[in-house]
Structures are given as C-alpha cells and as structure tokens.
Structure 1
C-alpha cells in the first residue's frame, strides 16, 4: 500500500474541476462528473450491450471469456442527480472481469427532474424485470456506489416490503444512506474529504428529496431502516469521507437485526476509492474482496442448485402481484 498513491489521488480530487459539488447549475454538475469518471480505466476483457430492464435503459456488461452463472444488478453513483451506466463502467467492468458474472447497470431517473421515489421505482422495476424473465433471485446480487450504493440498500428494502424474494446479497461502495445528514462524520471528516462538503451534499440532496421528509427508511436507512430478513451485506468505505458514518451506522443496524454484514473500512482513502483500480493498491485489494464476496454468495447458483431455484421461483410467483405504492 502506497502513501504516495493516496496523496496523489487526494491532490487530484481537490482540484476544483474534479468533484461534482455545488452550488452549481445541474448541467455543470453532470458534465463535471461525467468528465471525472471518463478518466477511470475500464477492463479490456468486458463487452457492453444496450438493453432495457422494465421501462428504463440499461447497459449489459459481460465478460469476454466464459460467463459464470449469476447476475449483478448495478446502480451507478452521482448523488441522485448525475451519472449513468457509462460513468460507472469502470466499477461495473471490474466486478464483471473479476467474477466472470454478467451485470446490468440501470439508467434510473435523476433529480431534480425526477425526485424521490422515482429512482427507487426504476431500480425496483429493473429487479422485477429480471424476475419476470425467470432469473433466480438467489443468483442476483445488488451492487452500487455512492448514491447507487444507497439504492442497492433501499431497493432491497422496497423489494422486501413489496413481498418479493430478496437477492443473494447486497454490495455497497461508500453508500449514501442518510438524508437527515446526522452522522458525526459529516463534520468531523470534512477537512479530510477531498470531494464533498456538508453544503455540497445538502445542495444536491435537497434536489433528490424534492420536499419529502428525510426521516423515513427509504431516504435514511442508516437511521430508520428495519433490516430484518436482509440478505448478506458488504459495505466498503474509506476513512476520508464525510459519509463514513452512513456506512458504520447501517452496519450496526444490520448486526442488531441478525444480518450477515461485513463492514470493510480502508484507511486514508476517499469516497468510492475503488474507481482508482490499477493506480491505487487499496482500490485493487478492495475490488478483490468485493469479487470474493460476490462469488461466495453466488456459489449455490453456480452449482446449479435446483432446489433453491424452485423455492425462489415459487416465492416470486406468490408475490408477483404486489407493487410498490
């Protein structure tokens, strides 16, 4: 692990043009985020295809070689106001390349044009579309980064509350999990965070809220969610980010609910540091751990566990008429 690598990443992210912070016009935020993420390398051994899941466009990402059974349903970051499957392609591609498992990355609607709960409606519809195709939920993992990491958690909550069978696992990179902004790290880590300030996340967060009360599970699961019955959960986060306590508090709630949870905290790295794979040793190692988590949780599907498929399919058949309010 290189202190010099971490220092170089920190310096790059502190340049005024790097981070999608506000207050700035929404189009400027989106263009800045797109430009930043375009610098992140995508593995050469994956291929992409335009497709759709439910009503929304999606990007299918597949390994060039032999594909293992299973599906990663990926939700991109961008503060709920920016980003796309393309901006997340480095992360999605590394997960696909490392695991050999196909991914679908969902182009969910963004605020302020489409505030809460539009994004969750879209990600839940994408999950329903996979189930309606006959995919076994035991062979699906939700994954995402930043706002998308938050959506991985809240989509799982929405699926459970709608009576749907749950995925095999949830993987979240630096998830946004508290729209009340009450974590101590919001202030304690502001100097260490090279990307975000409280003012910046409150600015874009207000766009996502659209006037909704943040004191509810689908907006602040780190504070209000009941995680009973949740699938295994891996949360990766860095110490140099104001959203650190979003992760630590959700992990604590998961443990209290009896959920199998791994809180993976890496020192002196920023928000979604995994995008620096190939340059930052900690990013490479974190992605290796994430890939191991995915493959372990999908092991039953890779063995062709017919009993599991049958049970999950019957669960979905019973629940399929339920819809998110």
Structure 2
C-alpha cells in the first residue's frame, strides 16, 4: 500500500492510539500493567508520564477500548462521532464555549467562541481549525474537540471548517474549501491576525492550505499549527515502525487465514502526487521558505513523530521559525483527551504560540 493510500485510510481510531488490528486475547507479550515485550525486551510505561497519562495509556494498551474500524463509511463515521462525543463531553464541562453553525464562502463551518466573551486583545484576531479524521471522518465532531479548548483558553473566536472528505471527494476538494473560507474571512480579518491549525489529517490539510494560499496569491496566516502530523504526511522514519508495537498492537502469534473482504474505501489522497508541494509542502524548499512560524505537537509513541521531527528540521533549514513540542509516551491524537495533563500542557503551548505570533 502506498504512503498516500495509507494516509487516506487512517481514521479517527488512530487518534486514540489505534492504528492496527487488536491482538488475540491472552497474548502474554502484554502485561496488565501496560508493559510490552518485544523480542525479549520489556518496555514499561514511561516514568515521565503523569498519573493520569500512565493509567490511560495502560487502558489503551491492555483494554483496547475503541475496537476496530468498520468498512461501511456511514457506520464508521457514526462510530467515530461517538468516540469524539465521549471526548467532547468532559471538555464542554471544563471549557465554557458557545457553538453555532454558519456558512462562510459557501462552506459549512462551526464557530466556537468563549462563553465569557472574546478577550479585547483578540477582538480582531481569529483562529481557523481544520479537523482530523483521516480525510474521511471527524466533520463537526473532531472539529469541536480541536476547537473548544483553544477558544476557551485563548478567549478567541475559532472557525472550524467542515470540508469535503473521501470517499465522496478526493484531493484537492478540502484545500479548495479551506481557500474559499479563508478568502472570505480575509475581507474581515487581516492575515497577520489569523492562525491556522489542525490535528492529524487536519494538520496535513493545514500545511497543504498554506501552500495553496501561495499558489492562489493569498497572504499566509500569521502562524501555523501542525498537530500530530507533518508537512509530508504521517509516515516514515523510526516512529512508523515502533509506535504500533509500543501501543500494544503486535503481529498476531497465530495469524488467521486471509479473508476476502470488501474493497477499501477510496482514500482522499489516492490519486495525488506526493512530489507536488500542494499535496506535501515538504517536497519544495521554495514553498516551505514562505511558510509562517509553525508549531508541531507530537508524542514519542505516535506514528507521525519522526515525520514531524523531520518537518521541523526542514523548516529550520530554510530559515522558517519552527517549534516542536513532544511528550514522552504520548500517542497519536493525545490532545483529544482533555483529562490528560499532557494534553492540557499542549493546549497552553498552543495558546502561547498563537498569542505571541498573531499581530496586535
């Protein structure tokens, strides 16, 4: 399977550390305390994790609470929306916001604002979110999980875009939707006062969008957040090889015979060219050199960690300000769980980054 096809196939299950089939029950390579045994080497839970982080990671490794993806896309979207609703409930209790639907540039969006009002210094500032979900799920569900904390903590308006996804649409539909919304918002907000961010597929799309703004002669936003993603897709490097095993997804000891299943859902990037900077900006130093200051968020048990590190270094090589913050033993999309102190630390870093880089 090609890198682009794999990217299109990754859904929100991966956002909670699930990126491979569950192992058989009773596999003694995984202990009840979360220790994973890899060819005789025992890998315990990290000593740097918070108490909540240790317990939640143990839960993910041992209990596999979210199950596996289903082939029917409508059913899978409902399943993923249920997972996101479970993350959103405590988030709404912790962070008071107002949410309303709107249409900007012909595209449906959710507008998230702090319940106590936008801070005076942010009255003419704006954050734009593009949600995760493997370019197939997450619309108006993962989008809220990504938008609520920043809207409340930064006391700023967040516009989250319900962009077109696979299998109904392929690249560049989502980029076109982001450009349409951005172009309309530029009529009311200066680009120097806009931040753009996304998690997982949304992080990839946020980076793609900056390249698309260049191609359409639109000014770059003031700052870019690429969370649990990179400028060149998720995969590559050591983390792709190690993350699944460290999260308890080991090859079955007795593999079942291959079964004929339904054909895979067409991926968003299946027909895209990975050498095109509008797909992966990492492929062009010229495009990257025009990027705004960029913040990467990841974890050492996340399959995109190596790719994020590589992208961070690539931006530095072309003279672009870049920050990478990683948490030991955190998995893909850990920021979706606001009960984790590690996630709340990440929110604070995001807020500080955007507050610092958006113009007054």
C-alpha distance in structure 2 between counterparts of 1:48 and 1:110, whole Å:
22
Give the Cα–Cα distance (whole angstroms) in 1 for the partners of residues 169 and 129 of structure 2. Answer: 19
1:286, distance to aligned residue in structure 2 (A):
1.0
1:31 paired residue among 78, 88, 91? 78
Q: Which residue, out of 23, 45, 54, partners 1:7?
A: 54
Give the Cα separation in 2 of the matches to 1:187 and 1:25. Answer: 28
Counterpart-to-counterpart distance in 2, 1:192 and 1:271:
12
Cα deviation 1:221-247 (Å, max 9, x = unaligned): 345563012111111001111111221
Is residue 274 of structure 1 aligned with residue 335 of structure 2?
yes
**1:305 aligns to what?**
none
Counterpart for residue 210 of structure 1: 270
Cα pair distance change 1:204/1:159, threshold 3 Å: farther
The 5 Å alignment of 1:127-206 reads 127-131=182-186, 133-175=187-229, 177-179=231-233, 181-193=235-247
CA distance in 2, matches of 1:289, 1:142: 15
Q: CA contact under 8 A between 1:79 and 1:204: conserved in structure 2?
A: no
Q: Quote the residue 1:49 is aligned against.
A: 100
Structure 1 residue 274: deviation in Å? 1.4
* Residue in 1 that maps onto 2:128: 73
CA 204–85 in structure 1, closer or farther in 2 if over 3 Å, else same: farther
RMSD: 2.5
TM-score between the two structures when normalised by the length of structure 1: 0.82
Do 2:292 and 2:320's aligned partners in 1 also have CA atoms closer than 8 Å? yes
Give the direction of change, closer, same or farther, for the CA distance of 1:125–1:183 in structure 2 (3 Å limit). farther
What is aligned with 1:256?
317
The answer on 1:234 being equivalent to 2:295 is: yes
Q: 1:247 aligns with which of 308, 327, 333?
A: 308
Q: Does 1:125 align with 2:180?
A: yes
- Which residue of structure 1 lines up, in the alignment, with residue 137 of structure 2? 82
Q: 1:18 aligns with which of 36, 42, 66?
A: 66
Q: Which of these two proteins has the greater Rg computed from alpha carbons?
A: 2
- Contact kept, 8 Å, 2:97 with 2:113, in 1: the verdict is yes
- Match status 1:291 vs 2:291: no
Distance 1:206 1:187 in 2: 24
SS in 1 for 2:272: coil
